[in-house]
């Protein structure tokens, strides 16, 4: 695909895109005939009609074009740059991996905004493919930096399971307002529009497989950091990206000045998921991600969305809503005195597919022309609070990613058990963030004596949840307690100066009227909180530099 394909006009894009899942719902509400309206009870779960789905499958919008359309909704960026070097396309018929092109003609042209059109600028927007060592390894990168300013700090954003950097489209403009910061968003290796090399494990034991699967993602992030010559940065990870952010902080210490975990997966411990024989757990949180309606979590103001599109299954995993609002001791709302909801069994077929390493995206790929209709079951609920054109663009973007060749998704069954509980829960190790001994060369190798190594002086950790998040917020409060206990132990005999220089604070924050995707559902409050956290980093790092 040429670069011009991704940067074509919006009219050209819309001519290729068909009716959105929400359009079917609106037609049904208005009494207009629609194919989805005549297909029985399954239309409520998969609102896109068969003909509409076939049209979308036939149109086969390239992932680069779909990403370009989503990013066109970023304020002051109507013509975003979009690199097309990965030639993002569905699996090749011969089964070979998707190639990573070195064609310089496919490199995106950076876009600059002027002060006359950008009240918070001028800013420089860039899309790039960062090639890594090895065969077919590269990360898709989107960045924003402020012109005529010295970049003192860097923010790196990681998306969740099967998603892509385009999901942060409501955050790029707001977060890049902070002076002195450059904002990066990355597609994880094997996901989004990053390259999709075959995923293979060599470890034979359980823990070795878990570690190798984690390293597959975080080693790529570290190599990207080295290539970009970034010493220290703030890392934001959502859901699976939050899990990987913790794993990165533990394996590569000394490079983070703040860690922000947005509804991270894998914190709570579950006896089923950590069992060596792996009898799978009997309740599901991952199922909620694909079945919970958006209106269960977000108060929408879009008048064009009918009530039929707002009715969900009322999932409320572990009473997360009441936890966010309940009073508790020690200034942590919702930490105690909250009843536990009964467990919801996982369908046996889902457990079988998960153990067989068959992902939800495998089903989308195998379903061919029915793929868009399957995806509509997720997108019609996830994006129901958005204007129709944005919901349509995100549906097309999601489908264009879901149908890509399987790669990083196959690592998930080694990291998470069915139900999205971690096989190696983060609650067992999260207290090690910011507390490791580092050698002069920055490594954590044990071959160097303790006397030659220095201990990190803590990393601030912020855990963010939506008010109606299906992820268990109690895991966040438990993580804060573990990190606070570790800080108290480390500073028990510390001097006044050591206590003052320690930055190992942790806290939980709740985004009102939002669910698991609070960066999208409660984006205004999310951006405001993020700007304050970024300002705090800037002030602290200035004091740190002045004290040297």
> Element (H or E) spanning 529, and its range?
helix 523-546
CA-to-CA dists, residue 87 to 4, 340, 390, 391, angstroms: 13, 47, 24, 24
Q: How far apart are the first and last CA of the chain?
A: 51
Task: For residue 16, give the 3-state DSSP assignment.
Answer: helix
- The rounded distance, in Å, linking the Cα atoms of 43 and 525 is 34
Enumerate residues 6+ apart whose C-beta is below 8 A from 159.
165, 167, 168, 185, 187, 188, 191, 192, 238, 239, 240, 241
Q: Is 516 a catalytic residue?
A: yes
Residue with tokens 């494990």: 201
> Strands, DSSP E only, in 177-218?
181-186
Q: Is 384 a catalytic residue?
A: no
Nearest alpha-carbon partner for 19 in 372, 377, 304, 382:
372
| Given 20, 239, 359, 424, the catalytic residue | 239
Contact between 157 and 185 (Cβ < 8 Å): yes
Q: Report the DSSP beta bridge partners of residue 126.
A: 143
Enumerate residues 6+ apart whose C-beta is below 8 A from 209.
201, 203, 414
Q: Is 143 a catalytic residue?
A: no
Which residue stretches of 403-522 are H helix? Answer: 412-415, 473-490, 496-501, 518-521
| Given 187, 270, 295, 469, the catalytic residue | 469
> Element (H or E) spanning 111, and its range?
strand 111-112
The 3 state secondary structure assigned to 346-371 is CCHHHHHHHHCCCCHHHHHHHCHHHH
- The rounded distance, in Å, linking the Cα atoms of 418 and 420 is 6
| Given 126, 255, 516, 517, the catalytic residue | 516
| Catalytic residue set | 239, 469, 516
């Amino acid at each position: 695909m040429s670069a011009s394909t991704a940067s074509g006009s919006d009219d050209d894009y819309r001519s290729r895109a068909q009716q959105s899942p929400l359009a079917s719902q609106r037609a049904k509400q208005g009494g207009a005939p629609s194919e989805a309206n005549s297909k029985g009870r399954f239309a409520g779960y998969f609102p896109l009609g068969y003909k509409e789905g076939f049209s979308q499958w036939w149109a086969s919008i390239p992932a680069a074009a779909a990403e370009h359309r989503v990013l066109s909704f970023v304020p002051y960026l109507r013509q975003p740059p979009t690199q097309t070097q990965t030639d993002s396309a569905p699996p090749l018929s011969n089964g070979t991996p998707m190639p990573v092109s070195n064609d310089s003609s496919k490199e995106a042209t950076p876009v600059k905004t002027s002060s006359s059109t950008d009240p918070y600028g001028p800013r420089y927007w860039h899309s790039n493919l960062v090639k890594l060592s090895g065969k077919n390894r590269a990360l898709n990168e989107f960045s924003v930096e402020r012109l005529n300013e010295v970049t003192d700090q860097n923010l790196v954003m990681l998306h969740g399971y099967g998603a892509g950097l385009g999901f942060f489209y409501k955050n790029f403009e707001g977060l890049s307002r902070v002076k002195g910061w450059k904002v990066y968003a990355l597609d994880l290796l094997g996901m989004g529009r990053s390259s999709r090399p075959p995923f293979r494990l060599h470890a034979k034991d359980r823990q070795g497989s878990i570690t190798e699967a984690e390293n597959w993602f975080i080693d790529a992030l570290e190599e990207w950091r080295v290539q970009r010559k970034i010493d220290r940065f703030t890392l934001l990870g959502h859901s699976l990206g939050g899990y990987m952010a913790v794993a990165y902080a533990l394996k590569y210490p000394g490079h983070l000045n703040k860690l922000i975990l947005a509804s991270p997966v894998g914190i709570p411990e579950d006896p089923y998921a950590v069992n060596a024989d792996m009898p799978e757990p009997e309740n599901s949180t991952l199922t909620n991600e694909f079945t919970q309606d958006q209106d269960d979590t977000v108060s929408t103001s879009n008048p064009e969305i009918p009530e039929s599109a707002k009715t969900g299954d009322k999932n409320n995993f572990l009473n997360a809503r009441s936890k966010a609002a309940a009073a508790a001791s020690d200034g942590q709302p919702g930490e105690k005195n909250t009843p536990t909801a009964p467990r919801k069994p996982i369908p046996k077929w889902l457990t079988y597919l998960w153990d067989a390493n068959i992902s939800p995206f495998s089903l989308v790929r195998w379903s061919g022309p029915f793929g868009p209709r399957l995806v509509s079951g997720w997108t019609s609920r996830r994006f129901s609070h958005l204007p129709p054109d944005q919901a349509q663009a995100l549906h097309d973007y999601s489908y264009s990613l879901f149908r890509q060749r399987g790669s990083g998704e196959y690592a998930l069954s080694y990291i998470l058990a069915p139900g999205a509980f971690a096989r190696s829960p983060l609650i067992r190790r999260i207290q090690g963030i910011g507390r490791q001994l580092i050698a002069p060369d920055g490594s954590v190798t044990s071959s160097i004596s303790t006397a030659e190594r220095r201990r990190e002086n803590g990393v601030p950790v912020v855990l963010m949840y939506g008010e109606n998040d299906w992820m268990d917020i109690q895991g966040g409060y438990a993580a804060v307690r573990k990190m606070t206990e570790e800080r108290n132990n480390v500073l028990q005999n510390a001097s006044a100066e050591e206590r003052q220089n320690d930055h190992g604070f942790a806290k939980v924050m709740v985004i009102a009227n939002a669910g698991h995707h609070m960066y999208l559902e409660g984006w205004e409050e999310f951006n405001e909180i993020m700007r304050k956290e970024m300002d705090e980093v800037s002030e602290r790092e200035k004091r740190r530099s002045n004290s040297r």
